[in-house]
Amino acid sequence: MVVFLIVPFLIISFMWKLFGNIKVKDITNRHVVIIGGSSGIGKSLAILAAKKNAHVTIIARNIDKLSEAITEIKENAINPTDQKINFVSVDVTNFEDVENNLCEIEETVGPIYMLVNCAGFAVCGELENFTVNQIKSLINVNLLGSIYPIKAIVPKFKERKEGIIVLTGSQVSLFGLYGYSVYSSCKFALRGLAESLYMELKPYNISVTLALPPDTDTPGFKEENKTKPIETLRISDMGDIFNPGDVANKIMRDALGGQFFSHIGFESFITTTLCKGMSPFTSFFQVIMESMIIGWIRLISSFYVHRFHKIVQLCYDEKKKQKKIKPNM
Ligand SMILES: NC(=O)c1ccc[n+]([C@@H]2O[C@H](COP(=O)([O-])OP(=O)(O)OC[C@H]3O[C@@H](n4cnc5c(N)ncnc54)[C@H](OP(=O)(O)O)[C@@H]3O)[C@@H](O)[C@H]2O)c1
């Protein structure tokens, strides 16, 4: 069965190398703003932007973490005397603060060319165990925390007829998993936001990229793991854990290449290809290649889905044995 999947994957990779050359935009001397740039994937993206000779502003709340990250980003700047590397402390859930600060940094550093929305966090658990405040907080940061900065910057991007927007979703933007009911709702919503924006902004030469990172070894991921129910932990154990530098590299390449989706690794290739549906595409060649393998991928994915449900059922049975669940009446 694996042969059915690997052979088309290899053919596509080969054809992609031959015909799928992507033009990558240059960000030298351009102003790149990374929200959530003091830690994890966002910090790695900021380091990459500095290595690409861009002016970099990172935004987050905690000033100590921001200052530490700035030192690291500056060490990676290739032109430290000319590159402007700054931070601003803003809570991304407050629209007025976000708008005012984006305006200010445009005046001091220069027009923003690339906006990366990477602020976010996950809390796992069964829906009934969340407090209403936890639910609101997840929605505020993970969803409104992307809508607000984009709403603030889009009029300027439209006026200048250029810009790059990155939204950071997750693999659970594509499919739901045990324990992710609230987080996954926010990340699914980001997909709707990204697809609509892509259509609204394309005529203005503004690109939109939706990053779909898999499990990535960051401080945020370590916190998330503490909240995972046993079912979620066992399902997560089936996948690989990626390095934030590699994930950031792929996001940067896809965003500068104008790709709509950014994913990394074989499993994410499978899930993203399977779930593309009515999403935007950048080449007919890509669509033809994908349409050739989607049927097989659906078949393979059914084994994963079956396995996930089996894990959940096993955990249920274990809990029942330990009398943590009441027997059926
Ligand atoms: N790591 C993974 O496995 C993984 C997988 C899929 C998707 N993602 C997504 O990728 C993004 C980055 O994740 P990560 O693991 O790199 O997280 P991380 O290490 O915890 O970094 C999160 C960043 O967001 C900032 N932030 C959080 N709340 C904020 C707020 N209200 N206002 C402004 N900034 C805020 C944090 O700084 P302050 O706390 O100081 O504000 C920090 O800079 C998130 O959207 C996450 O959902 C991560």
Ligand 1 contacts CB of residue 83 (under 6 A): no
pLDDT digits 0-9 by tens, 265-302: 999 999 999 999 999 998 888 899 899 999 999 998 99
- Within-domain flag for 3: no
Q: Which two tokens stand for residue 267?
A: 């499993």
pLDDT digits 0-9 by tens, 60-79: 999 999 999 999 999 999 99
For residue 232, what pLDDT band results from cuts at 50, 70 and 90? very high
Ligand 1 contacts CB of residue 245 (under 6 A): no
The whole domain housing 250 covers 26-321
- Within-domain flag for 313: yes
Q: How many domains does the chain have?
A: 1
CATH number for position 55: 3.40.50.720
- Within-domain flag for 326: no
pLDDT digits 0-9 by tens, 96-124: 999 999 999 999 999 999 999 999 999 99
- Within-domain flag for 8: no
Ligand 1 contacts CB of residue 254 (under 6 A): no
Nearest to 169 by CA among 98, 272, 298: 272
- Within-domain flag for 327: no
Please give the Cα distance from 179 to 163 (Å, whole number).
36
Please give the Cα distance from 201 to 159 (Å, whole number).
11
Nearest to 6 by CA among 14, 240, 243: 14
Residue 192 has pLDDT above 80, yes or no: yes
What percentage of the chain reaches a pLDDT higher than 70?
Answer: 92
Q: Pairing state of beta strands 206-211 and 163-168?
A: parallel
- Within-domain flag for 257: yes
- pLDDT, greater one: 325 or 317: 317
pLDDT digits 0-9 by tens, 133-189: 999 999 999 999 999 999 999 999 999 999 999 999 999 999 999 999 999 999 999
- Within-domain flag for 187: yes
Q: Which two tokens stand for residue 69?
A: 């990250």
Ligand 1 atom with minimal separation from the 89 CA: 33
117 Cα–ligand 1 center, Å = 9
Nearest to 167 by CA among 193, 185, 204: 193
Q: What per-residue confidence (pLDDT) applies to 44?
A: 98
Which residue from 216, 223, 225, 243 has its CB within 8 A of the most atoms of ligand 1, so it is best to mutate? 216
**What rounded mean pLDDT belongs to the chain?**
94
Q: What per-residue confidence (pLDDT) applies to 159?
A: 98
- Within-domain flag for 154: yes
Whether 90 and 98 have beta carbons less than 8 Å apart is answered as yes
